[in-house]
């Protein structure tokens, strides 16, 4: 029973991923694509969680936190590049 539910939720998450890939390819502006990438990171977190429940192991829990942190840093870097044109400034007070 629980296995069927988990497989169904994996299928639905894959469908959501396809929708995000459509927005990533088609998105008219660059912020659309960045938002799609960020949502893909969150989606990947939930796919990893469902997969670790399906496989019955708790060793993937570190991966979940890792994907969350990396998606956060990546989105921040993209947003700063879009706003200021450079990712790492030398001295912001001048």
Partner 1 sequence: MKTNDVIFQTVAKVVFFMIIFFAVHLFFAGHYYPGGGFVGGLLTSGAIVLLLLAFDMKTVRRGFPVDFKWLIGLGLLFSAGTAAGSLIFNVPFFTHAYDYFQLPLFGKTSLHTAMLFDLGVYLVVIGVTMTIIQTIGESE
Residue 5 to residues 2, 31, 46, 53: CA-CA distances in angstroms? 5, 34, 14, 11
Cβ 54 vs Cβ 6: under 8 Å: yes
- Token pair, residue 70, equals 């990396």
Q: How many helices (H) and strands (E) does the chain have?
A: 3, 0
Among 5, 8, 21, 73, binds partner 1 (CB under 8 A): 73
82 binds partner 1 (CB under 8 A): no
Applying CB under 8 A, the site for partner 1 has a residue count of 21
Neighbours of 90 (CB within 10 A): 6
Phi then psi for residue 78, to 5 deg, are -60, -45
Q: Which region among 15-23, 26-34, 35-43, 85-93 touches partner 1 (by CB under 8 A)?
A: 85-93
CB nearer partner 1, residue 25 or residue 90: 90
Min separation Cβ 82 and partner 1, Å: 13
Per-residue contact string for residues 52-71; x = within reach of partner 1 by CB under 8 A: -------x--xx-xx--xx-
Report the interface residues with partner 1, using CB under 8 A: 59, 62-63, 65-66, 69-70, 72-73, 76-77, 80, 83-84, 87-93
């Amino acid at each position: 029973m629980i296995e069927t539910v988990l497989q169904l939720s994996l299928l639905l998450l894959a469908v959501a991923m396809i929708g995000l890939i459509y927005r990533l390819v088609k998105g008219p502006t660059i912020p659309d694509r960045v938002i799609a990438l960020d949502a893909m990171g969150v989606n990947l977190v939930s796919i990893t969680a469902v997969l670790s429940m399906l496989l019955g192991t708790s060793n993937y829990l570190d991966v979940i936190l890792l994907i969350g942190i990396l998606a956060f840093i990546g989105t921040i870097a993209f947003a700063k590049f879009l706003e200021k044109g450079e990712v790492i400034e030398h001295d912001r007070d001048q």
